[in-house]
Amino acid sequence: MTDADWPPAVTTRNEDRHSPFVLLCEHASRHIPSEYANLGLPEAEVRRHIGWDIGAADVATRLSDRLDAPLFLAGYSRLLIDLNRPPQSRTLIPARSEATEIPGNRNLDDGERQRRIGRIFKPFHDRVASVLDDRLARGVPTILVTVHSFTPVYLGKSRPWHAGILFNRAEAFAHRLIERLSAETDLVIAANEPYRITADEDYAIPLHGEVRGLDAVLIEIRSDGIDTIEGASRWAERLALALAPEAG
């Protein structure tokens, strides 16, 4: 059962479509149920990038419609639990994000940890896994693409990239995507920046994508390029055109 304070852990869009792409947006929402009192943070902190990936849901939604592709959107803030971390990760429920301490995540007992896993983490990933396994069983070609955003400055260090394509095994697919996006000469598109995919700190690419033998990439877009509807629309169209050849 859900209500306004406890919405579904995952919202889907175009779930029954047969595009080769399946899209995830694990940091789509900054929602925290009222019982958590913003985990002891001012509302302004939750609205910052530590609470969600600014602009990512807007890009992912428009990209889903443009590609006619299934999309899975998270319903809760990553401050409660980070859906792109494996359960054993120390940052699954962060006690600190960037330079900000998260009072409501300090000294959690196992009961509260398991509550968040059972109510938010598991329903999201079970739904994604079910759809991916069904597509594979029916022989539907599938490429996994996750949509994220990153801050222009992190802990005082500027980031020069407009976007990064993060990958592990899907090197050929990732480099084709980078090449197509780099055709716009004013864009700086990086491989595996500003982060790297690792089995210890990432979930979707290794565990939803690579375990199933799928090409899988994580798209990171600098948030100052998608923090408006106009910017999100431009990036969704740009990505749709860069991805479109894979649908042929």
Per-residue b or e along 217-229, where b marks 16 or more CB atoms closer than 10 Å to that residue's CB: bbbbbbbbbbeee
Scanning the structure block, which residue is given the tokens 């739904």?
Answer: 127
Please identify which residue in the block is written with the tokens 């994580």.
Answer: 218
Q: Are 224 and 49 in contact (CB under 8 A)?
A: no
**Structure confidence by residue, pLDDT tens digits, 49-62:** 999 999 999 999 99
- What is the residue range of 113's domain? 10-247
Task: Give, for 213, the enclosing helix (H) or strand (E).
Answer: none
Q: Is the separation of the CB atoms in 91 and 82 below 8 Å? A: yes
Residue 1 lies in a domain: no
Q: What is the CATH number of the domain that holds 128?
A: 3.40.630.40
pLDDT score at 194: 97
State how many domains the chain has: 1
The per-residue pLDDT for range 200-212, each reduced to its tens digit, is: 999 999 999 999 9
β-strand pairing of 143-150 with 10-13: unpaired
CA atoms within 13 A on the CB side of 76: 29
Place of tokens 């990086």: 190
Q: What is the pLDDT of residue 1?
A: 42
Residue 180 lies in a domain: yes
Task: Return the pLDDT at 176.
Answer: 97
For residue 2, tell me if it sits in a domain. Answer: no
- Residue 180 per-residue DSSP state: H
Which pLDDT value is given to residue 248?
Answer: 46
**Would residue 4 count as lying in a domain?**
no
Q: Is residue 142 part of a domain?
A: yes
Q: pLDDT tens digits for the chain (248 residues)? A: 458 899 999 999 999 888 999 999 999 999 999 999 999 999 999 999 999 999 999 999 999 999 999 999 999 999 999 999 999 999 999 999 988 999 999 999 999 999 999 999 999 999 999 999 999 999 999 999 999 999 999 988 999 999 999 999 999 999 999 999 999 999 999 999 999 999 999 999 999 999 999 999 999 999 999 999 999 999 999 999 999 876 44
> Is the residue at 185 inside a domain?
yes
In a domain, 3, yes or no: no
Q: Which residues of 156-177 are buried (b: 16+ CB within 10 A; e: fewer)?
A: eeebebbbbbbbbbbeebbebb
Q: Does 68 fall in a domain? A: yes
